């Protein structure tokens, strides 16, 4: 199994900044999920995921992002901002119907370009990889989240859900 890409995180002005360096796969998403869950338990409700150095994302990684967005939405306060997207990563998030769970490249932010570069410079120490949940459970959960986020994703990920032993089914009438 390949070594996960480095994930840089830091709490800045009550916002958890997350910056993956490399591919966004199930390995990285497992690490980010653990970090965001711990931050959420401590009261953090605002998250920024900076994809400027993320070369590509798989569906599990996007499902993890959707999971963060759903958790923030359920809390009734906070935000998930996804910045630094390429045309391809932005299009993938939009295609999976995730725009209602996160702000993708928001036009209005509490930082300007100079502050953004300062923040990126502050993200120097990669977070430690934690022993996360079983890979299969994580991949299944992230794909189920994608289906909850947009019913059209049932058709996209039916095979994955079947292989992973998911009991999730398409809601009736759809």
* Whether pLDDT at 122 is above 70: yes
Mean pLDDT along residues 56-65: 96
What was the pLDDT predicted at 172?
Answer: 61
What was the pLDDT predicted at 140?
Answer: 93
Distance CA 88, CA 47 (A): 22
What was the pLDDT predicted at 17?
Answer: 97
What was the pLDDT predicted at 5?
Answer: 85
The answer for residues whose C-beta is within 8 angstroms of residue 23's C-beta and 6 or more apart is 5, 54, 55, 56, 57, 58
Domains identified in the chain and CATH numbers: 6-108+115-163 (3.30.750.24)
* Whether pLDDT at 21 is above 60: yes
What was the pLDDT predicted at 23?
Answer: 92
* Whether pLDDT at 132 is above 60: no
The answer for residues whose C-beta is within 8 angstroms of residue 14's C-beta and 6 or more apart is 44, 46
Instruction: Compute the C-alpha angle 150/95/71, nearest 5°.
Output: 45
Mean pLDDT along residues 102-127: 92
What was the pLDDT predicted at 43?
Answer: 97
């Amino acid at each position: 199994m390949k070594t996960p890409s480095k994930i840089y995180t830091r709490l800045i002005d009550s916002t958890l900044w997350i910056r993956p360096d490399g591919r966004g796969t199930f390995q990285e998403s497992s690490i980010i999920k653990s970090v965001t869950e711990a931050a959420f338990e401590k009261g953090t409700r605002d998250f920024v995921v900076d994809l400027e150095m993320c070369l590509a994302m798989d569906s599990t990684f996007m499902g993890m992002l959707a999971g963060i967005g759903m958790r923030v939405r359920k809390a009734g306060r906070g935000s998930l901002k996804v910045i630094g997207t390429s045309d391809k990563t932005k299009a993938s998030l939009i295609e999976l119907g995730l725009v209602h769970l996160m702000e993708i490249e928001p036009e209005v932010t509490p930082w300007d370009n100079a502050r953004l570069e300062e923040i990126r410079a502050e993200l120097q120490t990669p977070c430690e990889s934690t022993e996360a949940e079983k890979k299969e459970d994580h991949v299944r959960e992230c794909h189920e989240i994608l289906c909850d986020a947009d019913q059209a994703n049932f058709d996209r990920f039916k095979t994955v859900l079947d292989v992973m032993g998911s009991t999730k089914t398409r809601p009736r009438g759809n």
